[in-house]
């Protein structure tokens, strides 16, 4: 009998990091699907995809003979998009009539991006969109497709690991210089923070404990090709390339993806590229732990399909896995009506256990289908050890764990402090955190469900009698709402703050860092004391940074 577990909308963490998907949901809702930045002069297509109008205009101008949506390939034109007023368009004017003004600005943005050392690659991974933007001019063929994917997903994989670490150390210095430059512009003096040497990952190959594979036509034209999406610069088309040759993924994950692709190719039901295209199969998510237990979540578009059809397909795939000798601890089916599947909270257990468990820093953590967990488990141990070395809490401290996910920081820190309070917007993650505390016999941790910017002020008021309050802020790639920064600055008890970021040069994260330090008359600023880089994502250009703020 199938059972159902429910979660809630998320704003979340990915890939590499690729792994931070749920925590970014709130901010990603307003990302342009071309530049992946906040949508400026936003427009939405009739197929439901959001863009900056200048970005979309350039896309259409360079493809005048074949004007299709960059995401789903539906027909699109200037007259088939709807302006969104109120986000980046304060004059309430139709941006489609102002394109000349906007295009003057774009080259400067491009020049700045290209001049930034070790800029992050222009790709992203979400629960249902593994789209890779390839900047290379190489034409995609059967022979070059895997190299093109490698260049984008693991661009440093052919470089000695020691040199990768040198580049990421240099990138850390660049981030520090950018913070100083912005503070100088804001007329705020800054003492030079200490930049610690980078900590390496104990495991550099096959370290990812979660991978997401989705369908699109392959180079050979097969409409049921499973993998990552790659742009072909010569045509502007998007193709799906198999991830079988990526060295940061576990072979067991690739094997499950390969079996799933073979099953779907035999199925009479079509693949789904967009939630309104009438297709069914969307992709598969594979999770695993260090012990080797595996969880697979099949993502499908239920629109137009009966429960009987879906139940029959679940049964067929479960039987197919067993016939292929694929051993799963958990098999889930995730019907999703939206482009971003994390908007749907229904996960149907088809076979096996509800959860898998991971050991981290001598604690046991429960992992659900949609809960966040650091993508590189062994490197996460390094990260959290370095984190607590920096904040150095005492037995009289109260630890405030913001964007707490499955409660990792609180659980690990519970033996070092008097008490912990975690705040997380994803209901299932909060449930996992509470259950993890019970499993580990921890009684000094409290987890609260809600958006940090909404509940933080009330939580801080309830902690007003705390003598020593230290905070850890660990948001997704897009940073946090300004209200969070304001609430932290306005609370005089918080004199130590660790900001953990996997994308420190994102616009919102950089703004968060500056606003913690910049002088204003309303609250006492922090001082950026030190920066510690930890390599969570070998072979990629991503690097986790811990910023320690004091006051």
> 136 near 243, Cβ under 8 Å?
no
> 27 near 476, Cβ under 8 Å?
yes
Place of tokens 């918080």: 494
- Extract long-range pairs of 75-83: CB within 8 Å, 24+ residues apart: 76/45, 76/46, 76/47, 80/45, 80/46, 81/43, 81/44, 81/45, 81/46, 81/51, 81/53, 81/56, 82/43, 82/44, 82/45, 82/46, 83/41, 83/42, 83/43, 83/53
Alpha-carbon 295 to chain mean position = 19
How many whole angstroms separate alpha carbon 489 and alpha carbon 218? Answer: 50
**Coil/strand/helix, residue 265:** helix
- 343-353 as b/e: b if 16+ CB within 10 A: bbbebbbbbbe
Within 201-276, residue ranges assigned H as helices are: 251-266
Q: Which two structure tokens, joined as six digits, stand for 444? A: 């000094």
Residues 6+ apart with CB under 8 A from 254: 243, 244
Residues 6+ apart with CB under 8 A from 262: none
Of 466, 471, 308, the closest CA to residue 387 belongs to 471
- Sheet with 42-45: strands ordered across: 50-52, 42-45, 81-83
The phi, psi pair for 73, rounded to 5°, reads: 70, 15
- How many other C-beta atoms lie within 10 A of the C-beta of residue 438? 10
CA distances from 240 to 232, 353, 368, 392 (A): 10, 32, 28, 47
Active site residues: 502, 544
> 188 near 519, Cβ under 8 Å?
yes
How many whole angstroms separate alpha carbon 4 and alpha carbon 349? Answer: 6
- 300-317 as b/e: b if 16+ CB within 10 A: bbbeebeeeebeebbeeb
> 543 near 198, Cβ under 8 Å?
yes
How many whole angstroms separate alpha carbon 27 and alpha carbon 273? Answer: 23
Helix, strand, coil percent values for the chain (each to nearest 5): 30, 25, 45
Of 215, 171, 184, 259, the closest CA to residue 501 belongs to 171
Residues 6+ apart with CB under 8 A from 109: none
Place of tokens 């879906």: 310
């Amino acid at each position: 009998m199938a059972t159902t577990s429910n979660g809630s909308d998320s704003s979340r963490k990915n890939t590499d990091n690729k792994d931070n998907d749920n925590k970014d949901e709130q901010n990603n809702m307003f990302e342009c699907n071309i530049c992946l930045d906040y949508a400026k002069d936003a427009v939405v297509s009739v197929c439901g995809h959001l863009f900056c109008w200048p970005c979309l205009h350039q896309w259409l101008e360079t493809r005048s003979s074949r004007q299709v949506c960059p995401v789903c390939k539906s027909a699109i034109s200037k007259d088939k998009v709807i302006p969104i007023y109120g986000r980046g368009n304060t004059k309430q004017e139709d941006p489609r009539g102002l394109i000349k003004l906007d295009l003057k600005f774009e080259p400067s943005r491009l020049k700045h991006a290209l001049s930034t050392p070790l800029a992050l690659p222009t790709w992203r991974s979400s629960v249902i969109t593994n789209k890779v933007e390839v900047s290379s001019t190489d034409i995609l063929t059967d022979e070059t497709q895997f190299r093109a994917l490698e260049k984008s997903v693991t661009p440093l994989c052919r470089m000695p690991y020691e040199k990768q670490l040198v580049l990421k150390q240099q990138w850390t210095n660049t981030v520090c210089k950018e913070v100083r430059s912005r503070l100088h512009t804001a007329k705020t003096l800054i003492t030079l923070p200490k930049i610690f040497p980078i900590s390496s990952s104990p495991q550099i190959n096959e370290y990812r404990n979660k991978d997401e594979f989705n369908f699109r036509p392959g180079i050979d034209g097969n409409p049921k090709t499973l993998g990552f999406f790659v742009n072909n610069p010569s045509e502007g088309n998007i193709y799906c390339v198999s991830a079988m040759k990526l060295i940061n993924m576990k072979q067991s994950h690739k094997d499950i993806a390969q079996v799933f692709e073979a099953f779907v190719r035999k199925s009479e039901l079509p693949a789904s590229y967009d939630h309104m295209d009438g297709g069914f199969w969307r992709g598969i998510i594979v999770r695993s732990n260090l012990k080797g237990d595996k969880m697979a979540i099949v993502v499908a578009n239920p629109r137009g399909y009966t429960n009987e059809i879906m139940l029959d397909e679940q049964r067929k795939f479960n039987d197919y896995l067993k016939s292929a000798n694929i051993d799963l601890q958990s098999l889930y089916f995730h019907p999703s009506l939206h482009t971003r599947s994390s908007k749907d909270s229904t996960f149907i257990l088809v076979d096996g256990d509800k959860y898998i468990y991971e050991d981290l820093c001598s604690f046991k953590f429960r992992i659900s289908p949609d809960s966040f967990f650091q993508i590189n488990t062994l490197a996460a141990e390094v990260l959290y050890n370095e984190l607590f070395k920096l904040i150095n809490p005492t037995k009289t401290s109260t630890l405030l764990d913001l964007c707490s996910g499955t409660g990792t920081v609180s659980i690990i820190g519970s033996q070092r402090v008097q008490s912990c309070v975690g705040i997380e917007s994803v209901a299932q993650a909060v449930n996992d955190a509470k259950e993890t505390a019970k499993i580990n016999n921890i009684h000094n941790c409290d987890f609260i469900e809600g958006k940090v910017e909404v509940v933080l002020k009330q939580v801080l008021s309830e902690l007003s009698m705390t003598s020593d309050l230290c905070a850890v802020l660990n948001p997704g790639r897009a940073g946090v709402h300004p209200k969070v920064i304001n609430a932290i600055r306005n609370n005089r008890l918080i004199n130590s703050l660790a900001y953990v970021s996997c994308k420190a040069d994102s616009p919102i994260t950089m703004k968060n860092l500056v606003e913690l330090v910049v002088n204003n008359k309303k609250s006492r600023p922090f001082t950026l004391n030190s920066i510690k880089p930890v390599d969570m994502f070998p072979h990629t250009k991503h690097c986790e940074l811990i910023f320690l703020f004091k006051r």
